Structure formats: structure tokens, C-alpha cells
Amino acid sequence: MKRFFALFLVFLMVFAMAACTGGENNGGNEGGNNNESTDANALVSKNFIDPLKDWKQYDDLIKQIKTETDAAKRTEMMHKAEDMLMATQCVIPIYYYNDIYLQKSYVDGIYSNPYATKFFMYTTMSNGSDTLRLNLASEPKYLDPALNSSVDGACLAANSFSGLYTYDAEGKTVPACATGYEVSDDGLVYTVHLREGLKWSDGSDLTAEDFVYSWKRAVATKTAADYAYMFSGFKGYTDVEGQESDLAVSAPNALTLVFELNAPCAYMEDLMAFPTFYPVKKEAVEANPDWETNPGGWCTDAGFVSNGAFICTGWKHDTSMTYEKNPYWYDADKVTINKLEYMLSSDDTAIFAAYNADNLDFADSVPTDEVKSLIDNPEFHIVDELGTYYAAFNAKSKIFEGKTAQQAACMREAFSILINRDYICENIGQTGQVAANSFIPLGMADGNGGVFKKNAEDGYFDVMAINKKQDETVERARTLLKAAGFKFDDNGKLSSDTPISIKYLTNTATGHVAIAESIQQDFSAVGIEIEIAQMEWNVFLEERKAGNFDFAREGWIADFNDPINMLEMWITDSGNNDCQFGR
């Protein structure tokens, strides 16, 4: 009996040593098949809330920010809102934007504001031509300024419509249809004075009442404007389902517009310069027989009434658009070119070929593989922008089915930390982009006289970890995925029992596709499979908006220099809430 017991003890010791050795090997950098998991609840941020069931907390916080009059407290609340947003791990920042374009040496006077809107009305051409040939993008989805939500659409709107304010070549707001305004002592009531003699492009008078109509139309439920929430600081605005807003905006006379806010707004001039606040002519809009069910239908072909520097006089859908000088524009005397000819295309290669063949004077995109050779070309321009290039997960995607909200967040964090942002900036962007670790872009004002994010190092994760601590970072991704219920084989790749296969949605521009391919390679480190789905621009935009995606390329260039612009887009009812938060 003693001999048996002694042999039994030896057996136990050998077994224990083998078990310890096996566990040590499996826990190394290769990942192994040690599939012990950590509780997902212990891995998510303390700021985490369920992005589907509990998002009302975020909506309510944004409402508080919009009415807060203490600037310092407001800034603190915006930091809290970004903490909540980033804790979902649905928004995956890649880099902070800059903008590139090609412009012939004989072209001058084109300028861009920090929000990527380009202005062509003061262009001069020393080659003797009075026609500017250019490319911004492919077929625009909307020309109605209330309905547009794309950067190229904003450029078209800024050159064919005019708001109360606009931007000068230094990026500062200046009067346009307005001459100025007064604000009440409490900062809530604005009285705006319009220029005398304002006209629509058909020669009819444009009055303050046209702004009243346009602003109320922009927030009307039947208009379904993506940017309706931009009016949420106005008295009378509501986001209650089934209840129409009744904005506190009026026109005491033809040259005076009065509106009232719920709280002082430091960026009101930026709003007055934003396309959603541009006027549209009621008679033109409602002349379309389907105007109530198809609000943008009135300007889907050439000849629509506008009030900007140029009028759309020709439109060959998916091919070209022609705009001609508007003689009724308030500053028409300073417009020296008579025509804009737009090439409608998103094919970088075709656009570049057209530019090199001298068929374009301005091109707003460049093929990725040509950027390096163009860096020192005086026709190649790099300008600063205030925005973030990012990828986004649909919080409602089927890839998260069967997972708790915390497990889904762990999955998304694992995906995020595997992305080699430095490689994307250096080898795909190539123009000095800065790798991003927060959604609010570097250098944005904080609304309290300071800067919201001063240093590239400040943020929610170490963007260089996948480069400098690759083994640790990949192992951290495995830990997060194990917490979400996934298993790994002896090679540190996802087990065939728990695979991950997702679809990444992008438009067809070469740079975006190259980034998608880079992410695809990064994810393969742990065996995640990505299918890259390329779509034409307008189809791509609609699929994202409808939530018909797992994972998609995104970008947001600020509409004005305040963090609320980057935060309010994620409220439940926002038309820009592609992540489907709260839905």
C-alpha cells in the first residue's frame, strides 16, 4: 500500500510539472491554445454604456452640453461625451486629416476653409480662359443644401448658394447675404440685417422670409435632413418623435431676420455659413409635384433656382455638370470666370489622366501610387483640415449576435489595436497625416479659449503599440477576443470552432482601398478574415446610412471649430449616426 501511494505521489508531481510547462508555453507570444478567458466586464472602460440599449444617456448629455452656459463646465462635459463614445469601440480613429489637390500653375484664387469646403468664385486664370474645368467627385446625391451631407456636395452648394455668412481666403467667417447682426445681452436673441437688393438667380427678390421658410423646412420631419440637429440649439427645436419643431425665427421685415437660442453659441457665424442654413426658394421647391415625399427632387436637374455665384445650367448625369456665372449674385462684379465645368468621376486614375492631358485645371483627388512623385511638384497642394479619418462598426451588426454589449466592445477594441496606423500614414497617406487615437481631431478648440486635444500622444490608446510592442499588442487582442468567447489554436490564430469573418465597406478611391487592404493584413495576425466590398460613392453613402454594413471606412471633417460638432452627430436620431447608436 505504501509503495502504491509513493508511486501515486510521483505520478501527481510529474503531471503537475507537465501541466505547468504546458500552460507556460501556451501563454507566450504565439498565443497557443490556452483559451482561459477574462470577464469582458473587467476589460471595458469605466465610461462604457450599452450603445444600443443605454444610448439615451449620451443623447441627454449632448442636450445638456447644448444648453450649458458655463464654458468650462461645457468643455468638461464634452470630454465626458467623447469618453462615452470611444468606450463603445465602434469608432476607430485612423489619422487626422489633411487635404490634397492638384491645381494648374495658371490658376489662382481658389481657396479652402479648414472644413474642406472649396470656393471657386474668385478664381483667376492667366492662360486667357474664362472656364474652370475641375473634378470634385462623382455624381452628387443631393444639390439641395438642406439634404447634402457630403464634402463634395458642400463645395457645390457653397458655389451655387449663399448663406448669411461665408468664409474668406483666410478661413474666417465674413458677411455674405447679411451685412451684420446684433445679439441681446444674454446672448440668446440675434437680429441679422440682410443686404439690400438680394436676388434669386431668376431675378426675383430674396428676403428674410426666405430664410425663415428654409430653416423651418430644414428641421421639418418630412424633409428628413441629416443635419436637422444643427438647429438643436434654437428655441422651439424638438427631437421628440411625432412632434414638429417650431423654430423661434421670424422676419419682422424684408431685410431683418430674428432668431432665438436656448443658450449662447460661440460658433453661430459658422452655422450661418453652413449649407443647411442656406436659403432655398419656396416656389421653386414646391413647384415639384412630389415635393412633400421627395424634398430634394426640385434640384435634380439643371436649371434650378439658387442664389450663389454660379447657376447650374447643364447636367449630364454621371458624366458632367456645367455652372455659369449668376449675374444676380451680390458679389458678381468680382467674379471673373464665366463657367465651371465639372467632370463627374471617382476614378482616381481617370481623373489623374485627364489632369495630365490638360483636360482639367483642378483635381481634388490623386491616386495613392502617384503621391510620392508629386510631393515636390508646385501644382500639388497639401492643406490643413480639421477632421478625422476613421473606420466604424455597426453596433447592430450580426457579427455581434450572441455577445453581451461588453463582449462586443472587447471584439471591437481587439480589431482597433491591431491596426498599424503608422504604416497607413507613412505608406498610403504619405502627406504628413498624424496617426489618431481619439475622434476629436488634434488642434480643435475646446470652446473655452483653449485646445481640446493639444498633443498627438493624448488620447485613448497608444497608436505605436502595434509597432513597438507588437507581440504584447497581438496578445492583448487575443485576450480581448477570448473575453468575447473566441478560441485560438496552437498558432495563435482563431480556432475553426470560433471564426470571425467580416465585410469592410469602402468606396472605390485607391487610397481607401489601400487602407482597407492594410487593415485586412493587420487582422490576419490573429486569423480574422475580412472581405473588402467596394461601392460607388452614392451607393456607399446610402448603405452606411442605412446600417447595411459590419465595418466601414468613414471620415468626418468638422463643420465648425467646436467639439460639439464631432459629438452631436452620434445622437440616436442624427442622420449621420452610421454606427446606429441607440437604435
Domain residue extents for the chain: 40-97+383-570, 105-346
pLDDT classification of 33: cutoffs 50, 70, 90 = low
What pLDDT does 12 receive? 37
Task: Return the number of other C-beta atoms located less than 10 Å from residue 534's C-beta.
Answer: 14
What is the 8-class DSSP label of residue 441? P
Q: Cell 461645457 sits at which residue?
A: 74
With helix as H, strand as E and coil as C, how does 207-250 read? CHHHHHHHHHHHHCCCCCCCCHHHHCCECCCCCCCCCCCCCCEE
Contact between 273 and 125 under an 8 Å Cβ cutoff? The reply is no
Residue 461: is its pLDDT beyond 50? Answer: yes
CATH architecture of 40-97+383-570: Roll (3.10)
**Contacts of 15 by beta carbon, 8 Å cutoff, 6+ apart:** none
Topology alike, domains 40-97+383-570 and 105-346: no
What pLDDT does 344 receive? 97
Measuring CA to CA, which residue among 442, 373, 427 is closest to residue 95? 442
Mean pLDDT of the chain: 93
pLDDT digits (tens, 9 = 90+) for 509-546: 999 999 999 999 999 999 999 999 999 988 999 999 99
What pLDDT does 471 receive? 96
Q: Cell 444639390 sits at which residue?
A: 143
**Contacts of 364 by beta carbon, 8 Å cutoff, 6+ apart:** 101, 118, 134, 135, 136, 137, 152
The residue type of 111 is Y
Residue 210: is its pLDDT beyond 90? Answer: yes
Measuring CA to CA, which residue among 273, 313, 314 is closest to residue 145? 273
pLDDT digits (tens, 9 = 90+) for 286-304: 999 999 999 999 999 999 9
Buried b (16+ CB within 10 A) or exposed e, 173-209: bebbbbeebeeeeeebebebbbbeebbbbeeeebbbb
The predicted model gives 552-574 an average pLDDT of 95
pLDDT digits (tens, 9 = 90+) for 391-431: 999 999 999 999 999 999 999 999 999 999 999 999 999 99
Buried b (16+ CB within 10 A) or exposed e, 312-335: beebeeeeebbbbbbebbbeeeeb
Distance CA 490, CA 32 (A): 4
Question: Residue 111 to residues 62, 116, 473: CA-CA distances in angstroms?
Answer: 33, 9, 42
pLDDT classification of 324: cutoffs 50, 70, 90 = very high
Longest dimension (CA), the chain: 113
The predicted model gives 279-285 an average pLDDT of 98
Contact between 522 and 419 under an 8 Å Cβ cutoff? The reply is yes
Residue 32: is its pLDDT beyond 80? Answer: no
pLDDT digits (tens, 9 = 90+) for 471-501: 999 999 999 999 999 999 999 999 999 999 9
The predicted model gives 120-124 an average pLDDT of 98
Q: What is the CATH number of domain 105-346?
A: 3.40.190.10
Q: Cell 491591431 sits at which residue?
A: 418
